[in-house]
């Protein structure tokens, strides 16, 4: 199965195209490793040591991972080295530490001779089905807590961007992860995903991707009552109030939508701006968009790389066309671009004077396309922000702390950023409200979702 470089539009290499029969073998290997192998019975500190080793190897091999991500999905090398890789190794360190805190508790019963204690146990086989847009970090955010809890893992990376998963598999081997504990399947999402979701020996599906595919996974997994964590789509609102530091707010708004070319589930794709500063914000944003450096993601000056695949590129362009045909005003971008005559580049695109009922404001575009919507009152801003089927992330830019905290209470989203955007930490839970999913990745809450409780009752008489 070929893997393409979206910068050159040339094939990088071929990767194995696993079949449903391969998926079945992988699941059996993972199940056997869970039931018979050492991983789940290993002392927590033993698992932690291996996870810390994984983290160290990721850091040591950061350049290789960065080049793979740049060539495979167009993520700027600089962004990966400076932001993504520390998050990846950080996840293994955080959950390595959490592994040592995975303990149960003691409870009192009605009768004095009865003693109750609880144990936290791993679920079994976890299938981590990961997306194309942040191939490594969104794999680590599932694999690290799953392994920390003592589960075994089948990793199915996106078919368009599998190259860092291959390097991660080598890290797992080199770190001493026992046989069968981490299993990698590359290949088509539909047939492999279906095989994993329906397999009776798979206990949990950890999925990041579109809401439609997430819903399909939940339906398919219902017969075998799969545990699921769903990190799905978003259409995140970013509100700029007139009392904000406008220059800082514009910078934040720009990167909220255009980081990683807008191929980000938490992209701030709806910018809601208070009327007195609306024109200033639109002009400054449009100026930034026009001056953004599109180019080869391996080059240090590149700010915006190519769209990860031709399918995504075509999809984003359909939304750009929908925006052009609407009553919104195109103030920047709206075109494709070639770099050295090649590449799936789309200019950072800003539609001003949008309304929240437009297609470009309601549907997840997953590309560098921003809708800017004016508002007059705080109530109106909240109403627009919450008027979406999604609830993954949100943010506001304001100089008024009381207002910021008031809005943080009222916005229906799993993350609220105040005077910032795209901040992440392994300790902070991440996930969605509404059609953006359920369950949390990162933080102790994530570890919880990879374990189940057992109550043990002892009669001392």
Residues that bind another protein (CB under 8 A): 63-64, 66-67, 70-71, 77-78, 81, 295-296, 298-301, 340
Cβ–Cβ < 8 Å for 96, 148: yes
Name which of 82 and 111 has its Cβ closer to another protein.
Answer: 82
Name which of 6 and 122 has its Cβ closer to another protein.
Answer: 6
E strand map for 382-440: 390-391, 393-397, 415-418, 433-434, 437-438
What does the DSSP 8-state code read for residue 177? Answer: P
The reply to whether 88 belongs to the active site is: no
* CA angle, residues 65, 127, 2, in degrees to nearest 5: 50
- Cα separation, 328 vs 324, in Å, equals 7
Bridge partners (DSSP) of residue 433 are 391
State in angstroms the smallest separation of the CB of 370 from another protein.
Answer: 27
Name which of 77 and 450 has its Cβ closer to another protein.
Answer: 77
State in angstroms the smallest separation of the CB of 332 from another protein.
Answer: 23
Name which of 298 and 358 has its Cβ closer to another protein.
Answer: 298
Q: Which of 88, 265, 347, 448 is catalytic?
A: 265
What does the DSSP 8-state code read for residue 441? Answer: B
State in angstroms the smallest separation of the CB of 68 from another protein.
Answer: 9
Taking every pair of Cα atoms in the chain, the longest distance, rounded to a whole number of angstroms, is 82
The reply to whether 231 belongs to the active site is: yes
Task: Tell me the two tokens of residue 301.
Answer: 């000056």
The string of DSSP letters for 396-420 reads: EE-S-HHHHHHHHHH--SSEEEES-
Name which of 112 and 300 has its Cβ closer to another protein.
Answer: 300
Q: Which of 69, 88, 140, 231 is catalytic?
A: 231
- Cα separation, 166 vs 326, in Å, equals 43
State in angstroms the smallest separation of the CB of 358 from another protein.
Answer: 38
Name which of 237 and 343 has its Cβ closer to another protein.
Answer: 343
State in angstroms the smallest separation of the CB of 390 from another protein.
Answer: 35
State in angstroms the smallest separation of the CB of 136 from another protein.
Answer: 15
Torsion (CA) 44, 155, 191, 390 in degrees, nearest 10? 90
- Cα separation, 356 vs 5, in Å, equals 35
Phi, psi for residue 74 in degrees, rounded to 5: 85, 15
Task: Tell me the two tokens of residue 8.
Answer: 């050159």
Phi, psi for residue 409 in degrees, rounded to 5: -70, -35
Cβ–Cβ < 8 Å for 202, 127: yes
State in angstroms the smallest separation of the CB of 422 from another protein.
Answer: 20
Task: Tell me the two tokens of residue 63.
Answer: 């350049």
Query: Reduced to 3 states, what is the DSSP secondary structure of residue 263?
Result: coil
Phi, psi for residue 313 in degrees, rounded to 5: -60, -50
Name which of 242 and 298 has its Cβ closer to another protein.
Answer: 298
| Angle formed by the axes of helices 163-175 and 62-73, nearest 10° | 160
Please identify every residue annotated as catalytic: 231, 265
């Amino acid at each position: 199965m070929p893997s393409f470089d979206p910068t050159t539009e040339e094939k990088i290499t071929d990767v194995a195209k696993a079949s449903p029969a391969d998926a079945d073998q992988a699941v059996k290997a993972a199940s056997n490793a869970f039931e018979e192998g050492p991983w789940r019975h290993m002392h927590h500190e033993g698992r932690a040591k291996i996870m810390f080793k994984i983290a160290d190897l990721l850091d040591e091999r950061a350049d290789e991972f960065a080049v793979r991500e740049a060539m495979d999905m167009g993520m700027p090398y600089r962004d990966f080295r400076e932001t993504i890789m520390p998050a990846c190794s950080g996840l293994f360190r955080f959950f390595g530490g959490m592994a040592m805190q995975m303990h149960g508790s003691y409870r009192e019963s009605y009768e004095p001779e009865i003693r109750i204690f609880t144990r936290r146990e791993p679920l079994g086989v976890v299938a981590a089905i990961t997306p194309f847009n942040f191939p490594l970090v969104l794999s680590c955010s599932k694999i690290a807590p799953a392994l920390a809890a003592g589960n075994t893992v089948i990793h199915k990376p996106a078919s368009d961007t599998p190259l860092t998963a291959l390097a991660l598999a080598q890290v797992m081997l080199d770190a001493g992860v026992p046989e069968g504990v981490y299993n990698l399947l590359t290949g088509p999402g539909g047939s492999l995903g279906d095989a994993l979701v329906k397999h009776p020996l798979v206990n949990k599906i950890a999925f990041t991707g579109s809401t439609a595919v997430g819903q399909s996974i939940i339906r398919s997994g219902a017969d075998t009552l799969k545990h699921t964590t769903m990190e799905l789509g978003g259409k995140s609102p970013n509100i700029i109030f007139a009392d904000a530091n406008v220059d800082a707010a514009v910078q934040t708004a720009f990167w909220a939508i255009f980081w990683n070319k807008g191929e980000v589930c938490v992209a701030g794709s709806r910018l809601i701006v208070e009327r007195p500063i609306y024109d200033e914000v639109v002009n400054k944003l449009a100026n930034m968009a026009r001056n953004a450096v599109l180019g080869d993601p391996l080059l240090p000056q590149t700010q915006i790389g190519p769209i990860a695949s031709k399918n995504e590129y075509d999809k984003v362009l359909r939304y750009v066309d929908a925006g052009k045909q609407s009553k919104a005003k195109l103030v920047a971008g709206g075109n494709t671009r070639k770099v050295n005559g090649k590449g799936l580049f789309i200019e950072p695109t800003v539609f001003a004077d949008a309304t929240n009922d437009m297609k470009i404001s309601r549907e997840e575009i997953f590309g560098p396309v921003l809708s800017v919507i004016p508002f007059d009152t705080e109530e109106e801003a909240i109403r627009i922000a919450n008027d979406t089927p999604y609830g993954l992330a949100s943010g506001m830019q304001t100089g008024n702390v009381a207002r910021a905290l008031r809005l943080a209470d009222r916005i229906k989203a799993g993350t609220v950023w105040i005077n910032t955007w795209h901040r992440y930490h392994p300790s902070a839970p991440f996930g969605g409200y509404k059609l953006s999913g359920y369950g949390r990745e990162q933080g102790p809450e994530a570890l919880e979702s990879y374990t189940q409780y057992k109550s043990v009752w002892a009669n001392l008489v």
